Structure 1
Amino acid sequence: MTLLQADLRLAGRLDARFFTLLQALQQTGSLQRAARAAGYSYKGAWLLLDQATNLAQTPLVQAQQGGRGGGGSQLTPAALALLQAWQQLQQRQAEFLREQQGWLLAQFHDHPELAALLRRRAMKTTARNQFIGRIAALTQGPSTVQVRLELPGGLPLRAAINAEAAAALDLQVGQEALAMVKASEVVLVQDFAGYKLSASNQLAGTISRLEKGATGALVGLTLPGGMQLTASVTHDAVEALDLRVGQPATACFKAYAVMVAVAG
C-alpha cells in the first residue's frame, strides 16, 4: 500500500502524461493514436511536441515515410534518450518513496494508531462511510458469512459477505477490520411509528450537518462516541422529514451494504 505520493515533473511542464504520449508514439507510430492514449487532442499533442522540440533545440519526432500504412511518426534518438531517462527516474523515485515510507512508519513506533490511520486513508474507495472496528463474531451460513463488528464505544455493526470472499479475506475473531458503507445505501428514519425494520444496522445519532446540492443532499449524523456517518438523500426526503441540524435520526442499512476490508 502506497502511503507517500509525489507528482514527478521535469522542468515543471514535462509530466507523466507527456511521457505517456512519447511512449505511445513510439509503440504505435501514429500521433493520432498516441494522443488518444495520453488523453490529448491531436492538435494539443502536436502543439506540445512542437513546443518541446523548440525548447530542446533538437527534433523529438521524425516522419517515417512509405510502408503499407503510408508512413507515420517515430521518436528521434534524443526523444528516446529523454523517455529512457524518465523511466529510470520513475524507478528511482519509487525506491526513494518506499524508503521514506519505512522511515515515516518507524516514527510512529510508539503510536501505532497513527500508522494505522495512514494505512486506512491510503485505501481508495468511493464509500463515504468508513469505520474501524474489531470482528466480534463470525457466523457461517450455507453461502454467506455474517460478520459482527464492534466499533469504538461498543457500537455494533453487521455485515454479510459471501463465503468465498470471507475465505479469501481469512477473517478471524478479534481481527481489526474496516467497514465501508456507501452514503446512498443509508436510509434515515426519524419516527418508526411502532414498526420494526428488517435492516440489520440501525444506528441512532444526531444530525450534525446538512449539505444541499444540485441533485440531492448529504446528511451527516454524529453517532455515540463521536463517529460520523453520512447519508445521501433526495431533496424531497429532506422536505418530507423536515431534516434539520440538531434533530435525532436513525441511520438504517442492510448487512449486505457493508463492505469489509482487512490488512493483507
Structure 2
Amino acid sequence: MTTLSLLAQHVNRRPQRIALLEQIAMQGSITRAAKAAGMSYKAAWDAIDELNNLADQPLVARSVGGKGGGGARLTPAGERLLQLHQRLQAIQAEVLQAVDDDPDLQVLGRLMLRTSARNQLSGRVRAIKPQAGNDLIDIELPGGTSIQAQITRSSTQHLQLQAGVPLMVLIKAGWLQLSAAGEKADASLNELLGHIEQIQTETDGPSEVRIALHNGQTLCAQATAEHLAHRGLVVGSPVRAQFAASHVLLGTQV
C-alpha cells in the first residue's frame, strides 16, 4: 500500500480535513477555506501542518499573510490525494450499501487511531539497535533527517518493526526543549532544526510555538514567554528543538 493511499485512509477518517482541502482548491485562501469548512483559522493551519507532516511531500503550498489572511493552493500531491479520496468515497458508499448496520463496521471504527500527541510526523525505520532490554529505533524523516526512539523489545515485536517499515512518529508539544540554533546542543538528545513561524501567546499558560523544519515538516512546541525572551527567540529566529529518544512514540498501520 502506498503512502498516498495510507494518507487517504487517514484523512478519510477526518472528513473536515478533506473538506478543508476541497475548499483550499476552490478558494485559494486559508481564511476563506477555513470558514467554508467550518473551522477556525488556527484549526485550519493545524490541519494543514498535520497533513503535510504525514505526507512524503507537502499537500498544501501556502504563504503567510497573503490576500484573505494567507494564500494557499493544493500541490500536485494534494490534488492526487483529493482525487483518491473521491474514489474511496464512491467505493465506501457501495460497501456501506451492501453491509448497512453490520456490527463489524462499528468494531473497525473503534480500532481507528486517535492520539493526544500534538506532533504527528511520517517516518521510516532505518535501523534497529538492541540496547539492554530495549531497542533504539533509528528513524529517517522526509528529507533524510534522522531521529531515534527508545522502545521496549516487546514493542518492537508488537509493531513488527524492521528496516524500511513506515511509521507515524508522535511527540507531545510539552516534550520539546527549545534553544537558539547557535547554542550548544545536548548530544544525548534528538534535535530538529528550523525557524519559528508563529508564536501564539496564551494568557493562562505557556505560548504555542510553531516551527517550520528544514525538511518541510512542522512542529508545535510549548514554551514560556520568559524562556523565549531569555534565548532571544522570536518569529523568524533559527531554533533547535530537542527531545529524548524515550519521548518518541511510534505507531504503524495494522
Question: One-letter code of the match for 1:249?
Answer: V
For 2:213 and 2:175, the matched residues in 1 are separated by 17
Determine if the alignment matches structure 1 residue 175 to structure 2 residue 175: no
CA displacement, residues 62-81 of structure 1 (integer Å, 9 cap, x when unaligned): xxxxxxxxxxxxxxxxxxxx
Any conservation in 2 of the 1:4–1:97 contact (CA below 8 Å)?
Answer: no
SS in 2 for 1:164: helix
* Closer, same or farther: CA 249–165 of 1 in aligned 2, 3 Å: same
Any conservation in 2 of the 1:210–1:220 contact (CA below 8 Å)?
Answer: yes
CA displacement, residues 43-85 of structure 1 (integer Å, 9 cap, x when unaligned): xxxxxxxxxxxxxxxxxxxxxxxxxxxxxxxxxxxxxxxxxxx
Identical pairs, percent: 25
For 1:231 and 1:199, the matched residues in 2 are separated by 19
Instruction: Please give the TM-score of this superposition, normalised by the length of structure 2.
Output: 0.56
* Closer, same or farther: CA 259–93 of 1 in aligned 2, 3 Å: same
Query: Structure 1 residue 196: deviation in Å?
Result: 4.1
Any conservation in 1 of the 2:197–2:236 contact (CA below 8 Å)?
Answer: yes
SS in 2 for 1:220: strand
Determine if the alignment matches structure 1 residue 231 to structure 2 residue 221: yes
Query: Structure 1 residue 191: deviation in Å?
Result: 5.1
Any conservation in 1 of the 2:196–2:239 contact (CA below 8 Å)?
Answer: yes
Any conservation in 1 of the 2:180–2:232 contact (CA below 8 Å)?
Answer: no
1:200 maps to what in 2? Answer: 189
Query: Structure 1 residue 199: deviation in Å?
Result: 3.6
* Greater RCO (CA < 8 Å, at least 6 residues apart): 2
Query: Structure 1 residue 216: deviation in Å?
Result: 1.0
Determine if the alignment matches structure 1 residue 147 to structure 2 residue 137: yes
Unaligned ranges ≥5, structure 2:
1-8, 16-98
Any conservation in 1 of the 2:181–2:193 contact (CA below 8 Å)?
Answer: no
Query: Structure 1 residue 96: deviation in Å?
Result: 9.6
Question: One-letter code of the match for 2:214?
Answer: P
SS in 2 for 1:256: helix
Computing the radius of gyration over CA atoms, which structure comes out larger, 1 or 2? 1
Unaligned ranges ≥5, structure 1:
7-91, 102-118
Superposed structure 1 runs of 4+ greater than 2 Å apart: 1-6, 92-99
Determine if the alignment matches structure 1 residue 209 to structure 2 residue 203: no
For 1:210 and 1:203, the matched residues in 2 are separated by 18
* RMSD across aligned positions (CA): 2.9
Determine if the alignment matches structure 1 residue 220 to structure 2 residue 227: no
Query: Structure 1 residue 204: deviation in Å?
Result: 0.8
How many pairs does the alignment contain? Answer: 158
Question: One-letter code of the match for 1:245?
Answer: V
Question: One-letter code of the match for 1:204?
Answer: L
SS in 2 for 1:157: strand
Any conservation in 1 of the 2:133–2:152 contact (CA below 8 Å)?
Answer: yes
SS in 2 for 1:210: strand
Query: Structure 1 residue 186: deviation in Å?
Result: 0.2
1:162 maps to what in 2? Answer: 152
For 2:219 and 2:209, the matched residues in 1 are separated by 8
1:187 maps to what in 2? Answer: 177
For 2:181 and 2:14, the matched residues in 1 are separated by 46
Instruction: Please give the TM-score of this superposition, normalised by the length of structure 1.
Output: 0.54
